[in-house]
Amino acid sequence: MLFNSFEFIFVFLPITIFGFYGLGSFGLRQAAIIWLVLASFVFYGYWNYGSIILIISSMIFNYRMGIFLGNKYQNNPVKSYSLWVYHLFLYLGIAVNLAILGYYKYANFLIDNFNVFTGAELNLKNIILPLGISFFTFQKIAYLVDSYNGKTRNYSFLDYCLFVIFFPQLIAGPIVHHWEIVPQFANQKIIKFSYENFALGWTIFSLGLFKKVIIADGVSAYSTPIFVAAASGTELDSFEAWRGVLAYTFQLYFDFSGYSDMAIGISRIFGITLPINFDSPYKANSIIDFWRRWHITLSRFLKDYLYIPLGGNRKGETRRYLNLLITMLLGGLWHGASWTFVIWGGLHGCYLIINHLHISLKKYLSWHNNKQSILEILFYRILTFLSVVIAWVFFRSESLDGAIIILQSMMKFNFSSFFHNNLSNLTSNIVFYGFWLPFLLLIVWFAPNTQQILMQYKPTLSSDDSKISHAFLWKPNLLWATSLGLISFIAISKVLEAKASEFLYFQF
């Protein structure tokens, strides 16, 4: 079930809200939580009910494993074992989770590559990838590590279930920690309907829905045909190639930004505040800054549970750069079982290394305290943006050959090809480069984001200290109500007239 579908907006969400707050009005907190858990299972099982067995089995295993690991800190001689036993079970728990993820997501990839290198003809049946498995696997691994480190409490199985299965963030994040969300479930206030939470939640949801169905889906028409053509070996001119890559750059941005807003908005309707996951990443002035803004909770997980355990920056500069590269290569592979994702991750790993070397050079030359001029900031922002754009070519391409075709076409710089094309191509160039490109650049580089607009009401767990004009701050007044009503009307009209399209991050 998609957030941008008729079934979700007009059937599932209203029933879930009425059921949750209906039970809450009688003070039945546990019944309300059970209702939300069951609704989340319905939401997840809507695609494939067979996946419910997998996620329930996984939840039971990880919950019991978490309790066992947490016993390391209990002064109970019956439950106390040698430290190596807990260490062994921690690795066992992580291995089981990774094995499940590896089978569903990477088995065919490994077999295909084995066949290429050995000439064998091994074949696995078509494995259906359970939606959201990459996201909830990381959440459960983090829970086990935190249990081992004594950071978890004696959560009930019901609260743990909701932590894993909570439908707004189940499929594509944000990747939440237990300490961020489980204590909120215990708050008796969440079962009491709040007009403020509903208004904030619906505002954020509406903005996200608009981003998805109007902007992301609208600009996809300029992206998809180009990558499909490249995958088939079709030669492209430079304006076609750049149009396709830039269109995908914005499509992915607004698709993921829209999903993040919708997840945060839906959660807020139920009185739950999620962590920020998307913070205007194309405003970044460096690749380091980009990864502080793009998929923030994934970056946090990779840093805390991969980069730092590898040694982080504690073992010298060479080891630090190697750890960065390994982290980003695995981060790329996490996104998909394809060499294009590995290359994308490797590119960003190299970008980060270059960024850190640049910082070290500035410190060596004593330039790091110099205040940057507007021109410098603009230069670094454009350089960062173009670096990200180039990497997206591999991220989106269906094959290495397709990516190479697009990159070669981008390098042709045949400016006359803008006009020397058929009428359809010329029209696409004029509309995209004349309207879409300047409009979208203006938004992603200069406009305040959703969190900034609503900063007075703390829409996410993380605070935003940036300053924006008072005129852009959301207020419960007639002007904002009218504007949000119009945005909702336009977005829902699009939902009613067109088949809902999947969010791009669902495939990861």
Sign of CA dihedral 28, 31, 37, 38: negative
pLDDT for 81: 65
Distance CA 171, CA 336 (A): 15
pLDDT for 266: 97
Distance CA 299, CA 301 (A): 5
User: What does the pLDDT look like over 107-143, one tens digit per residue?
Assistant: 988 898 888 888 887 887 778 888 889 999 999 999 9
- Amino acid identity, residue 40? S
Is 303 within a domain?
yes
Q: Which two tokens stand for residue 119?
A: 């000439």
Identify whether the C-beta of residue 387 lies closer than 8 Å to the C-beta of residue 393: no
Is 170 within a domain?
no
Domain finish residue from 143, 165, 187: 165
Catalytic residue among 335, 348, 358, 368: 335
Is 389 within a domain?
yes
pLDDT for 78: 46
Distance CA 463, CA 456 (A): 10
- Three-state DSSP at 500 gives coil
Domain finish residue from 347, 371, 396: 396
Is 439 within a domain?
no
Is 461 within a domain?
no
Best CA proximity match to 237, nearest among 415, 391, 402? 415
The parts of the chain modelled with pLDDT lower than 50 are 77-78
pLDDT for 268: 96
Query: What residue numbers bound the domain in which 390 lies?
Result: 281-396
Is 218 within a domain?
no
Catalytic: 335?
yes
Best CA proximity match to 213, nearest among 461, 65, 432, 4? 4
For the chain, how many structural domains are there in total? 2
Is 62 within a domain?
yes
Is 286 within a domain?
yes
pTM of the model: 0.93
Residue 240 burial by Cβ neighbours in a 10 Å radius (0-12, 13-18, 19+): buried
Distance CA 189, CA 159 (A): 16
pLDDT for 77: 47
Domain finish residue from 328, 361, 396: 396
- Amino acid identity, residue 439? F
Identify whether the C-beta of residue 256 lies closer than 8 Å to the C-beta of residue 505: yes
Q: Which residues contact 89 (CB under 8 A, 6 or more apart)?
A: 65, 68, 69
pLDDT for 423: 74
User: What does the pLDDT look like over 358-367, one tens digit per residue?
Assistant: 999 888 887 7
